[in-house]
Structure 1
Amino acid sequence: MGYAFPWPTSQGEWLAWSSAVVTLLMGLLLFLAPGLAFRILRLQVKPEKAAAIAEGRGRMAGFYLGVSLCCLLLGPQLFLYMALGFSWLFTAFGRLLSMMSDGANTPFNWASIVVELALAALPLAFAFGFVL
């Protein structure tokens, strides 16, 4: 039995696939260059807390890589894309809560929430049949 890379065939699949690719690229950046990724995300690691880099590589990159690779390698399975979309949706919701309660109402956070909502909408639109 051979394995073929499941290439997207419809517009909806392409949109969901694109969200998975962006998530994969973000995961690779966090995994391979966490210092650069932290600077982009405006996070700073204290020298006495070098284990924070492990959080970026492990917890953050591991999640991004795991979910996105499942979406990309296992084909257009709606539940996988639903998991990707809801993960990005809750990321945006968490950022919104932080903006409202933690005083993190900055232009960077507004731009980030727009990107996160777009990355959530693409796979969810495909998973729920809004785009075929």
Structure 2
Amino acid sequence: MQFTVPTELPGLLPFGAACVTVFLGLIALFAPGLLLRALKLQPHDTRPSAIGEPRSMMAGFWLGVGIVALFFFDQMFIQLCLGAGWLMSGFGRFVSILSDDGASLLNWVILLVMLALAGAALAPALGFIS
């Protein structure tokens, strides 16, 4: 299998979204405390095992989907999977903003980043960019 880097916009958008996803996955895997502090989440001192959640749930999923999307960025199904994952994450963030009294600037910025990543992956797959 040969690894290629896209040169045109329909390939660059999902490839860039995959790169960001892998980057976030690496941060969650190797620096989960930093990620939790950035998201304003802290595990209790009585539960140090809580630091394992970002490594498994966030890093594992982000790295798995992101790496596959890096290698198969030109496949519509992969673009749909990556975009749908970010879109649903954004929807969950939006529900949290509305129902959990979480209307902070950080939450709105993270929501916009999630929607941008979803749009970058979904635009070529749905035919908005050809």
TM-score range, shorter chain: over 0.9
Map of 1:25 onto structure 2 = 23
Map of 2:33 onto structure 1 = 35
Which amino acid in structure 1 is aligned with residue 75 of structure 2? Answer: Q
**Percent sequence identity over matched residues?**
41
Gaps of 5+ in 1: none
Instruction: State the TM-score, normalized to the length of structure 1.
Output: 0.94
Gaps of 5+ in 2: none
1:107 to 100, 105, 108: 105
- How far residue 6 of structure 1 moved from its aligned partner, in angstroms, is 2.7
1:45 to 43, 46, 54: 43
1:55-80 deviation per Cα after TM superposition (whole angstroms, max 9, x unaligned) = 10011100000000001123411111
Asked if the contact 2:32/2:54 (under 8 Å) is kept, the reply is yes
Structure 2 CA distance for aligned equivalents of residues 25 and 47 of structure 1 = 27
Stretches (4+) displaced over 4 A: none
Asked if the contact 2:73/2:79 (under 8 Å) is kept, the reply is no
Instruction: State the number of aligned residues.
Output: 130
The residue matched to 2:25 in structure 1 has which SS? helix
Structure 2 CA distance for aligned equivalents of residues 84 and 42 of structure 1 = 25
Map of 2:118 onto structure 1 = 120
1:15 aligns with 2:16: no
Instruction: State the TM-score, normalized to the length of structure 2.
Output: 0.95
